[in-house]
C-alpha cells in the first residue's frame, strides 16, 4: 500500500489530473470564435468533434495537445516519483490521473472528452510501442469503416489484451483501466452504431 499512497505518488496523481483536465478542444474553439464545441455534433470536446466545425487545423491541434498532456503527465510523474524511489508507479498513476482528468474535468462540471488522444499520449509516455499498436489498430479500422468511435473501441479492446499477452502486466493493467473508462464514455456511440446512426469521420454537424 505504501507504494500506492505516499507523498510522491499523491503529488504525481494531482499534477497528472490537472494536466489531463485542461480542455484544449473547448479552449481552442472558443478562442477561434466558434462558440462552445459542446453545442455541436456529439457534444464532445475532443478532436473528432472539433473537426465537425470544419476547421481541420484546430482539430489537429486539439488532437496533438490532448495527446501531449497525457505524455507530459507520465514524464512529470516519473520525475516526481524518482525523488522517492517510486518512479514507475508514480508515472503510471499520473498517466491514469491525466486520462481521468480529460474524461472528467472539474472545470467543465466533469463533462469532458472521450479520451482517445489522451489514451494514446499516456501510452506514448509509458511505452511508445503500445501507443503505436493502438494507433495502428485505430487507423486500420478507421480506413475501412470511417467510424472514429468504432476504431477507438476496437483499439481500446485490443491494446490491453496485447500488452497482457506479452507479459507487460503494469502497462496492460493501466491500459485496461483506461479502456474501461473509454468504453463507458462511448456508450452513446455504441447505441448509435447499433442503430446505424453514428456520424462518420469528417461529417459536419
Q: What is the dihedral of CA 94, 14, 89, 127, to 10 degrees?
A: 10
Please report the pLDDT score of residue 103 as a whole number: 95
pLDDT reported for residue 175 = 97
Q: What is the pLDDT of residue 30?
A: 86
What does the CA dihedral 142, 23, 199, 59 come to, rounded to 10 degrees? Answer: -60
Per-residue pLDDT of the chain (205 residues; tens, 9 = 90+): 556 678 899 999 999 999 999 999 889 888 888 778 887 777 778 887 787 777 788 889 999 999 999 999 999 999 999 998 889 999 999 999 999 999 999 988 898 889 999 999 999 999 999 999 999 999 999 999 999 889 999 999 999 999 999 999 999 999 999 999 999 999 999 999 999 888 887 655 4
Please report, for the chain, the start and end positions of each structural domain, with discontinuous segments joined by +. 7-195
Amino acid at each position: 500500500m505504501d507504494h500506492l499512497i505516499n507523498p510522491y505518488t499523491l503529488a504525481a496523481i494531482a499534477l497528472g489530473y490537472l494536466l489531463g483536465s485542461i480542455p484544449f478542444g473547448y479552449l481552442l474553439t472558443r478562442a477561434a470564435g466558434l462558440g462552445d464545441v459542446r453545442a455541436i455534433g456529439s457534444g464532445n470536446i475532443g478532436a473528432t468533434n472539433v473537426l465537425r466545425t470544419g476547421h481541420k487545423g484546430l482539430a489537429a491541434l486539439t488532437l496533438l495537445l490532448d495527446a501531449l498532456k497525457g505524455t507530459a503527465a507520465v514524464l512529470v510523474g516519473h520525475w516526481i516519483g524518482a525523488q522517492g524511489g517510486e518512479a514507475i508507479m508514480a508515472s503510471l498513476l499520473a498517466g491514469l490521473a491525466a486520462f481521468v482528468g480529460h474524461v472528467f474535468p472539474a472545470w467543465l462540471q466533469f463533462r469532458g472528452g472521450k479520451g482517445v488522444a489522451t489514451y494514446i499520449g499516456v501510452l506514448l509516455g509509458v511505452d511508445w510501442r503500445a501507443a503505436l499498436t493502438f494507433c495502428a489498430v485505430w487507423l486500420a479500422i478507421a480506413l475501412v469503416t470511417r467510424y472514429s468511435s468504432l476504431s477507438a473501441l476496437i483499439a481500446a479492446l485490443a491494446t490491453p489484451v496485447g500488452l497482457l499477452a506479452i507479459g507487460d502486466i503494469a502497462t496492460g493493467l493501466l491500459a485496461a483501466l483506461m479502456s474501461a473508462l473509454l468504453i463507458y464514455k462511448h456508450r452513446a456511440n455504441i447505441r448509435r452504431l447499433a442503430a446505424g446512426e453514428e456520424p462518420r469521420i469528417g461529417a459536419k454537424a
